[in-house]
Every structure is written in C-alpha cells, then in structure tokens.
Amino acid sequence: MKAINRLLGATLCGVTLLAGAANAAQRELRVYNWADYILPAVPKDFSQKTGIKLTWDTFETNESLEAKLLAGNSGYDLVVPSNTFLDTQIKAGVFQKLDKNKLPNWQHLDPGLLQLMTTNDPGNQYAVPYMYGTVLIGFNPAKVKAALGDNAPVDSWDLVFKPENMEKLKSCGVAMLDSPGDIMPIALHYLGLDPNSTKAEDYEKATALMLKIRPYVAYFHSAKYMTDIANGDICVAIGYSGSFYQFANRAKEAGNGVVVDWRLPKEGAPLWYDSFAIPASAKNVEEAHEFLNNLMDPNVIAPVSDFLGYPNPNKDAMPLVGPEIRDNPNLTPTAEAQKTLYVLQPLPQKIERVRTRAWVKVKSGN
C-alpha cells in the first residue's frame, strides 16, 4: 500500500527496465505497483537474470488501481491491491487464479498469515501476500514537543482527534492519508464504534469528529506526507508504518537535522496486507508466475522488508530481516499489541457510498 524509497524510485517509476540478454524483447512483463514499493535491485536483477523486459508503472491509491482493473483490459500482468480491495476485485472477476505448480517457493509463506488472508482471498487462490503493516502516527519529536510540551500523547489517537491538540499542531503541519478506507475506520474505532460498521448513522458520527479537526489538517494525500515529514515541512502525519521508517532513514542520510519517529497508538489500529495478483486480462502469465516465485525466495524478499520497513509474510525470510524491523513493536506488532489491531473488510455498496460521501464532506470541510 504504501511505501517509499530512499533513492526516490527513479529507476522504477514509469521506466522500462531492459534485460541485458539479447532475447529481452521476446519476453516481457508489465507491473503496476504502489509508488516506491520495491527494492530497486529486485526487478533489475530479475530482468537481468531472466532476459525479461520489465515495465514498472506506479499508482498512489487503491481507488486508481481499481478503476483501471474494472475498466477491463488493464494492460498489466501483475498488480498490487490491498486486502479489502482484493476481496471485492476477486468477486468482480478481475483476477485469474494462481498456478501454484509454478510457485514452488510458496512453501516459505507463513501458514498463519495465509489463513488470515483467506478472509479476503478464500483458499489463497488469487494472491501472493507481499507486505503487511499498520496505519499509525508519524511525528517530528522536537516540533510536537514545542507545540504540546513533554507529555504530548504521541502513542494515542488523542494526538490528532482532540481539537485542542490539533489547534496547537496546526502551526507545524498535520497531514492525513487521502483514503476513506483507512481514515474513517480509525475515526469509528476511536469513537468506540465498529471500524467496519454498516450503519449510516455511525458514519455521521465519524464525520462530525473529523469536521471538528478538519480546520487544522494541512492536507490529505497518500504520498506527499512522506517527503514532507522527512524535510521537516510537517510535524505529524497519519500514514503507513513503513513509510515513517523509510523516511526517517532518508532524513538521517540527508543530514538535515530532522528526526522522524512513529507510534502504534495504544487504542489500536488497522492491520493491512498488500498482495500481488494477476489480472484476468494479463498477456504474460508465465512471466508473472516467474516473478512471483522469485519474490518468494527468502533471500530476495528479506532485503525488501529491510528497505521498505515492513514485515513480510515469509516465515523463512523474517529471521533474515534486520532487528530494527523484526524486533520493533511499532513496525512488527507484539502478540499483545496484535489484540488491539483490526482487519478491515469491504463494505456493502450502499455503505461504501455513504463512506465516500462522508469523505467528500470531510475533505471539503463542510
């Protein structure tokens, strides 16, 4: 869903990676992934090793990916939907089943996480789980302390949902994801309501909460906050766990004096999964399976987790991931913290329209 790249992803975004082999033009693979959501060496090495011409395009929201898939011929052989979108897209018939005979590295995946994935992909028939994480609070410690003092509730959603806190944070900048499927469930849960509520009146309550803090939100965007928090242009963001890890490293490398930290709120947060899936219209299915099998090699996927700051569902890869991710409870939740997390589910169409209208109202501020 959701990550970043200290090298700015310049080698990937919209750029065709050409294999060195002479027969590269004979085999190709077109991938549509989240912006900056891969270790650049992975597609490059795959292309060089296999002689497959690899085109890597990027998107910034699940909604934009879904629009392309539902339109029919997406033009891609692999795409990366998040779990709740995966569910509805499978039901819409936009994906084809995996041929697990071509995926011997499937054996490395964690059976427990695969079982969780069956909520959105019954029988694990359509998707190869890639990364997982949470939506949480990222912040600049110095600026938050200057605004709220030593006892700023950085480990609580109170930081952003209490107007008195947001009023003080406005001067240093607060950003939120432009995603009703992420932010509205958090607001519902904060109010003690079901984050997957199917009651229209619950969304009215969540909207009222959001409108109270709306005057203090600088912007809603699902990518801009990453660079801005690393540059010190904002002080707080609701975003994806790995993005804060990665851009904290970016800030360190830049030597700009900016510190980026993050917390998994004590009240709980959404747990999400991203997966690779093959569109029904894919033209290079053999190459898609080849890429997926390579990605499930523990020695390939472990460095991706290190780079992106997200844990992966590969049981044989996680021991190879650095302790700063593997043992960081704000990135890889502890067993105790997992009890406070919730998995988001697709909503009935009628309620999805309610949530979408609510989001438009929140963004407009009235």
Residue 25 reports pLDDT greater than 60: no
Q: What are 216-257's pLDDT values in tens digits?
A: 999 999 999 999 999 999 999 999 998 999 899 999 999 999
Q: How far apart are CA 89 and CA 85, in angstroms?
A: 6
Would you state the structure tokens that stand for residue 316, as one six-digit string?
């044989």
Tally helices (H) and strands (E) across the chain. 16, 11
Q: How far apart are CA 51 and CA 262, in angstroms?
A: 41
Phi, psi of 275 (to 5 degrees): -140, 155
Q: What are 332-364's pLDDT values in tens digits?
A: 888 788 888 888 888 999 999 999 999 999 999
Q: How far apart are CA 340 and CA 321, in angstroms?
A: 24
Cα–Cα–Cα angle for 336, 341, 345, rounded to 5 degrees: 150
Residue 17 reports pLDDT greater than 70: no
Average pLDDT of the segment spanning 83-99: 94
CATH tag, 15-132+273-332: 3.40.190.10
CATH tag, 134-270+341-364: 3.40.190.10
Residue 250: the pLDDT is 92
Of residues 183, 124, 135, the one with CA closest to residue 1: 135
**Strand 236-240 with 219-220, pairing:** unpaired
Q: Is 253 helix (H, G, I), strand (E, B) or coil?
A: helix
> Do residues 267 and 214 lie in contact, with contact meaning Cβ atoms separated by under 8 Å?
no
Would you state the structure tokens that stand for residue 83, as one six-digit string?
């779990």
Q: Is 134-270+341-364 the same fold as 15-132+273-332?
A: yes
Residue 96: the pLDDT is 98
- Please classify residue 296 by burial: count the beta carbons closer than 10 Å to its beta carbon, then call 0-12 exposed, 13-18 middle and 19+ buried: buried
Q: What are 167-191's pLDDT values in tens digits?
A: 999 999 999 999 998 999 999 999 9
Which sequence spans correspond to the domains of the chain?
Answer: 15-132+273-332, 134-270+341-364
> Do residues 291 and 98 lie in contact, with contact meaning Cβ atoms separated by under 8 Å?
no
Residue 22: the pLDDT is 43
Residues in a beta bridge with 84: none
Kindly report the pTM of this predicted structure. 0.75
Q: How far apart are CA 68 and CA 236, in angstroms?
A: 32
CB atoms within 10 A of CB 146: 14
